[in-house]
A and B are shown apart, each in its own frame.
Chain A
Amino acid sequence: MLGLLGSAGVVAALIGSVLLVIRGIGLARGGEGDLRRPAKLVLAGAVVSMAAMQIALLTDDFSLAYVANHHATTTPFPFDVATAWAALEGSIILWGLVLAVFTWVVARRPADRLGAAALAVMGGVGIFFFGLMLTVANPFEVCVDALTTGCAASSPWPFAAVDTPVEGPGPNPLLQNHFLMAVHPPVLYIGYVGLTVPFAYAIGALALGVPGPEWLRRSHRATLVAWSFLTLGILLGGWWAYEVLSWGGYWAWDPVENASLMPWLAATAFIHSGLVQQRRGMLQAWNFVLVISAFALTILGTFLTRSGTINSVHSFTQSAIGPALLGFLVLVLAGSFTLFAMRSHLVASSPRIETFVSREGTFLVNNLLLTIYAFIVLIGTTYPLLLEAFTGSQVGVGEPFFNRLAVPLSFMLLLTMGFGPVTPWRGAPAGLLWRRLRGPAIVALATGLVVALTVTRVAWVILAIVLGVWVAAAIVGLLIELAGKRSAKSGSSVYTEAKTVIRNDQPFWAGQVSHIGVALVAVGIAFAANLPLHAEVELAPGDSVEFAGYTLTYQAPFRREEPNRLVQGVRVQVGQGDRVLTTLEPRANFYDNEMGGIITPAVMSRPGGDLYLTMRDLDSETVLLGLDTSPMIWLLWLGGLVTAAGGFWSLAARRRERVLPEPRVMADV
């Protein structure tokens, strides 16, 4: 029954998408028509299909093969809800739902020709994803051959003779081990799918032959929403890895992590280069290239994650969807760039850049660095796959390769981030830059000296701190300078004037908040990567060990039954001097559908950083404990949040601006 309902929803969304394409093209060619209704149909269909899946999961309806193979009666809340996107077919429902919401939001504006063309493109993307749900990744297939647990064979035909299993194996243990796994995919998907909007506007603008900045203005908010969620999603992914994967790290240049980083890098470059076009009319062609690449990279990311082409902890499933996604990726690239080539005589025009010592000059450097960064991640991720596919020889590309190239690039980006915000558009006199930057340089070096004398002299850490402070000090210095000038004129306090300065150009200052967030991330990574301590100890109950200034006492092993798992671990008391700080429970979680236990770390967070305990081995007498520290790791989490917050704050500013009448926008068309 629910299978029928879900399939009906998918069919409705597919019909809505087809209508969007047909009517969108008609409207874009100057015809008449309404696009809100098809957009509503897409949204309604997607909502119904997601609702059907959720009801099936919450009511343990094992007649659906997806539920039978990825859910169990014992799966607790919120993991039963999250199971809807814990495996391939379900995650496509989520993808479709997010796409439907973005489509509906775009369609809410009265559609002019550009808007109609963009909606037609979004409809096209919708046809592909809803089409997937009816063919190679059908989440609503019914089970026709039940196993003791799970389902051996299924049929896409909702009226097929159903053979309902009584129980399922439950979701992948790694995914039900931490609540972050319930949150991380939706957040990341909003980021991924959101990039469809600027892509759709770009293709629409190319098709109509209006390469002016209008498409950038119209998709600006969606780009910011996508970028902010992508930032947040990557952060949550790193945090999940840290809390669950028990090696004390948050980023391993795993292909699936890279899959989320590549669109982020491209989108970050796009946000900056889009500004150059809006302000100076430059980089028209480049913006098209970037936005097409960013969208293509999200499809590539989905392909890498979901096709099972690379086996990693994330690629928990394999299916025939690989060729479909790959085909769509090539269609997107070939189609977009063909259209781009056909319109190149329109987009190639751009005014001359007067000097590289200008805001647009720093943006050029920024774009060059970010693009090379994305390219390195792309080639490092795909090279082993391509080499193996074409020659059969196996090579590994891992952390050492990425770190060697990405670390210097990151530092160059930080250096540029100090220059960018204080450099005016159209060029700056050298004296102005020197006046604005000597202060930050002195503050940054002085901070570096203090840290080198008191904390550590590790080169990477010092470099990260000097450059991080340099970025922040340049921003604060600029704010003080601008507010000071106003205050000298008006007589009110610098603080009041600073608030006015920010209010007058909130998107700019929101961007600076993101810059400070990135600087925090850099410092956090430098500390956590360069100064961790590690030890392994074997302890009997009652034994104590000194580690990183803490006294760890192994109290006793414990064992407890939870609804969906058996938890076996040890209690370790953590003390400092005479004080008892806390008791940690490093453990292994045993799930029914996995033989070995999932080693789950216990973490104590303090201002200086984390203490990270893992249970390596437990027998009747002793426990083998892995002891790690992650110095200042909270800077990384905080920095990620601040970066995303900058994006969201910038959105708030745009909304206020929209109260103003918009004749200026229309005049440009």
Chain B
Amino acid sequence: MSDRARNIVSITVIVVMAVVLFFLVSTRPATVDRVAEIGSRIKCPVCQGESIANSPSQMAEDMMDLVAERVSSGTSDEVIVDELLGSYSGAVLLDPPASGNTLALWIAPVAALVLGVIVILWWRRHPGQDVEEPPPPGRSRARLIIGGAVLVLVFAGIVVFAANSLQDRPAVAAGAADLGEEDLSDVSNETMEAVIAANEDDPQIVGMRLALAERYFEAGDYRSAFPHYLEVAEHPSATDPEAITALVRLGWMAFDGNGEVETAVRLIDQALAIDPGSQLALYVRARVLWCGSAETEQAIDAFEGLLAQPDLAPETRSQIESDLDAARAGESCP
């Protein structure tokens, strides 16, 4: 076979195969796993850097169940994503949109590519001097000054930045340290779990345990919060405010999570037995009564009793007032 014939045959074979392959691939019925796809776009609120599709945590599984339910009922992706972001605090979109404050993320790689191509083309036309005639060695004075100035500026920047970050984030020693009194905002849930588990018998640990439980509670992860609140409530060395908070939270979770109004009221009453004037306990008790039972009258009484307390914070007072108005108007709780 001549070279020419061989070329023609090769080209034909390549083109035909490429076309057939493209046809085969593009006619495959698309089976997109929408549930997994949406799941991979949402960060799990109680884990660290994992999407809800990847996380084994209970909360992520609940969220995935919700996604599956919505997908099967024909809801659109965007609506499902918005619902998840709206109803779970701490859930973040892992798929930054090409708009707003994440636009730069999408522009930067393209800009870098364009810049790279320009630099290469420029270099092609304007290469440096040929190696045969090297410039005289040594350093130029102007360059030295510019370089030094840059160095000084950068260092000033670092010192300011480091000082700021040190101030915001007090160091927390690994493992365990002065438990309880430390600012825990920087410590991960996992670390707290480990420290708590390692020091179960240490009376100082109750404060950290409560902080961790509050964190889970705020993220809506009742299942993880529950054992910690229980432990705090039963712990002999818990202070009164700690025990009250734990009991009230347990009560609210019993109502909100499991719909057990009686258990909830009983737990909150235990808290009130410690301190009959606890505003938190009184308020949550009133809400449980209002939301969970037909005893709206009792709830209204309870709200009114609370408002009679002189030392209410202004926000709490206005919250209670709006709740009271709604309850009086016969509305169900929001």
| A338 adjacent to B194 (CB under 8 Å) | no
A592 CA to B56 CA, complexed, in Å: 21
| B193 adjacent to A169 (CB under 8 Å) | no
| A254 adjacent to B49 (CB under 8 Å) | yes
- Cβ of A493 within 8 Å of any chain B Cβ, yes or no, is no
| A247 adjacent to B56 (CB under 8 Å) | yes
**With A346-B137, A445-B17, A593-B194: A399-B51 Cβ-Cβ less than 8 Å:** yes
Count of chain B residues with Cβ under 8 Å from any Cβ of A? 94
Contact with A along B40-80 (1 / 0, CB 8 A): 11010000111100111000010000000000000000000
**Which one of A338, A457, A599 contacts B150 once the chains associate, using CB atoms below 8 Å?**
A338
- Cβ of B87 within 8 Å of any chain A Cβ, yes or no, is no
Contacting residues, chain A, for B138 (C-beta < 8 A): 209
Give A residues with C-beta under 8 Å from B.
68-70, 87-89, 147-154, 168-169, 172-173, 209, 246-247, 249, 252, 254-255, 281, 308, 310-313, 315-320, 322-323, 326-327, 330-331, 334-335, 338-339, 341-346, 348-353, 356, 364, 368, 371-372, 375-376, 379-380, 383, 387, 389, 391, 393-401, 405, 434, 438, 441-442, 445-446, 448-449, 452-453, 457-459, 462, 466, 534, 592-596, 599, 614, 616
Extra inter-chain contacts (6) besides given A148-B199, A346-B137, A401-B96, CB under 8 Å: A152-B177, A312-B48, A327-B162, A331-B155, A434-B7, A595-B197
Please choose the segment from B104-112, B256-264, B293-301 that sits at the chain A interface, where 4 or more of its residues have CB less than 8 A away: B104-112
| B17 adjacent to A449 (CB under 8 Å) | yes
| A346 adjacent to B40 (CB under 8 Å) | no
- Cβ of B188 within 8 Å of any chain A Cβ, yes or no, is yes
**With A151-B176, A391-B101: A446-B17 Cβ-Cβ less than 8 Å:** yes
- Tell which of A346, A595, A614 has the most Cβ of chain B within 10 Å: A595
Q: Give the dominant DSSP class at B's interface.
A: helix
| A399 adjacent to B49 (CB under 8 Å) | no
Q: List 26 A-B contacts (CB under 8 A).
A: A147-B202, A150-B176, A151-B175, A153-B177, A169-B198, A247-B56, A281-B131, A312-B48, A318-B172, A319-B172, A320-B166, A323-B165, A330-B155, A342-B139, A346-B135, A349-B131, A368-B116, A372-B113, A396-B43, A399-B94, A438-B10, A438-B14, A441-B14, A445-B21, A452-B21, A614-B56
**With A349-B134, A448-B21: A330-B154 Cβ-Cβ less than 8 Å:** yes
Give B residues with C-beta under 8 Å from A.
7, 10-11, 13-14, 17-18, 20-21, 24-28, 36, 40-41, 43, 48-51, 54-56, 61, 92-96, 101-102, 104-105, 108-109, 112-113, 116-117, 120, 123-124, 127-131, 134-135, 137-140, 143-144, 146-148, 150-151, 154-155, 157-158, 161-162, 165-166, 169, 171-179, 186-188, 190-191, 193-194, 196-199, 201-202, 227
Contacting residues, chain B, for A534 (C-beta < 8 A): 36
Contacting residues, chain A, for B158 (C-beta < 8 A): 326-327, 330-331
| A449 adjacent to B20 (CB under 8 Å) | yes
A400 CA to B102 CA, complexed, in Å: 14
Q: Which residue of A lies closest to B18 (CB)?
A: A445
A448 CA to B147 CA, complexed, in Å: 55
A322 CA to B131 CA, complexed, in Å: 44
Q: Could you tell me the distance in whole angstroms from the C-beta of B219 to the nearest C-beta in chain A?
A: 14
Q: 3 closest Cβ contacts across the A-B interface?
A: A398-B94, A69-B175, A169-B198
| B120 adjacent to A364 (CB under 8 Å) | yes
| A594 adjacent to B151 (CB under 8 Å) | no
A462 CA to B127 CA, complexed, in Å: 41
**Which one of A249, A351, A387, A391 contacts B130 once the chains associate, using CB atoms below 8 Å?**
A351
Contacting residues, chain A, for B150 (C-beta < 8 A): 334, 338
| A310 adjacent to B49 (CB under 8 Å) | yes
A70 CA to B109 CA, complexed, in Å: 41
**With A150-B198, A396-B94: A338-B151 Cβ-Cβ less than 8 Å:** yes
**With A318-B171, A334-B151, A375-B109: A452-B25 Cβ-Cβ less than 8 Å:** yes
Contacting residues, chain A, for B194 (C-beta < 8 A): 169, 172-173, 593-594
| B191 adjacent to A599 (CB under 8 Å) | no
**Which one of A313, A326, A434 contacts B162 once the chains associate, using CB atoms below 8 Å?**
A326
Contacting residues, chain A, for B140 (C-beta < 8 A): 342, 345
**Which one of A249, A352, A393 contacts B124 once the chains associate, using CB atoms below 8 Å?**
A352
A438 CA to B13 CA, complexed, in Å: 10
A398 CA to B134 CA, complexed, in Å: 48
**With A318-B191, A457-B24, A457-B25: A401-B174 Cβ-Cβ less than 8 Å:** no
A376 CA to B107 CA, complexed, in Å: 11
Q: Which residue of B lies closest to A87 (CB)?
A: B174
A441 CA to B43 CA, complexed, in Å: 42
Contacting residues, chain A, for B179 (C-beta < 8 A): 152
| B92 adjacent to A255 (CB under 8 Å) | no
Q: Which residue of B lies closest to A354 (CB)?
A: B124
Contacting residues, chain B, for A350 (C-beta < 8 A): 127-128, 131
A69 CA to B49 CA, complexed, in Å: 26
**Which one of B113, B129, B161 contacts A349 once the chains associate, using CB atoms below 8 Å?**
B129
| B143 adjacent to A341 (CB under 8 Å) | yes
**Which one of B54, B198, B227 contacts A149 once the chains associate, using CB atoms below 8 Å?**
B198
Contacting residues, chain A, for B201 (C-beta < 8 A): 148
Contacting residues, chain B, for A342 (C-beta < 8 A): 139-140, 143-144, 147
**Which one of A349, A394, A399 contacts B40 once the chains associate, using CB atoms below 8 Å?**
A399
Q: Which residue of A lies closest to B121 (CB)?
A: A356
**With A252-B50, A368-B116: A323-B25 Cβ-Cβ less than 8 Å:** no
A594 CA to B192 CA, complexed, in Å: 10
| A459 adjacent to B41 (CB under 8 Å) | no
| A383 adjacent to B105 (CB under 8 Å) | yes
Contacting residues, chain A, for B196 (C-beta < 8 A): 595
Contacting residues, chain A, for B130 (C-beta < 8 A): 349, 351
Q: Which residue of A lies closest to B193 (CB)?
A: A595
Contacting residues, chain A, for B172 (C-beta < 8 A): 318-319
Contacting residues, chain B, for A150 (C-beta < 8 A): 175-176, 198-199
| B96 adjacent to A319 (CB under 8 Å) | no
Contacting residues, chain A, for B176 (C-beta < 8 A): 69, 147, 150-152, 169
Q: Could you tell me the distance in whole angstroms from the C-beta of B218 to the nearest C-beta in chain A?
A: 15
Q: Could you tell me the distance in whole angstroms from the C-beta of B188 to the nearest C-beta in chain A?
A: 4
